[in-house]
């Protein structure tokens, strides 16, 4: 599980309609994180990047956020390495056909 939630703002920091929406989003996000944390097992991996002052509306800081997330993932590298695929996996896809049904094709088969 990756937690990229933003801490709640202080009442004095909520000064616009956008700030109200952002606070609401953060509240809902924290509720979801709490529910998910309650279901984590010993075998699950929890990653929580330290985002500092980056909030959910800081789209212009996406590169910073990605870097912080990558750093946080590296701290769990040993656990994540255990999940790595060491040989090519067969990827399975469903392709739409004209009648709306699905046609199953494995990446290992020819088109």
**Could you tell me the residue ranges of all domains in the chain?**
11-85
Other C-beta atoms closer than 10 Å to the C-beta of 92 total 11
Confidence (pLDDT) at 109: 45
Q: Is the pTM of this model over 0.85?
A: no
Instruction: Evaluate if residue 108 carries a pLDDT over 70.
Output: no
Confidence (pLDDT) at 82: 87
């Amino acid at each position: 599980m990756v937690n990229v939630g933003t801490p709640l703002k202080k009442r004095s920091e909520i000064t616009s309609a956008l700030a109200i929406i952002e606070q609401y989003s953060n509240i809902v996000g924290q509720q979801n994180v709490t529910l998910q944390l309650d279901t984590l097992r010993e075998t699950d991996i929890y990653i929580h990047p330290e985002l500092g002052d980056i909030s959910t509306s800081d789209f212009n800081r996406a590169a910073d956020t990605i870097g912080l997330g990558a750093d946080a993932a590296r701290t769990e590298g040993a656990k994540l390495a255990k999940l790595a695929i060491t040989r090519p996996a067969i990827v399975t896809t469903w392709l739409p056909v004209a009648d709306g049904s699905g046609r199953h094709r494995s990446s290992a088969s020819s088109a």
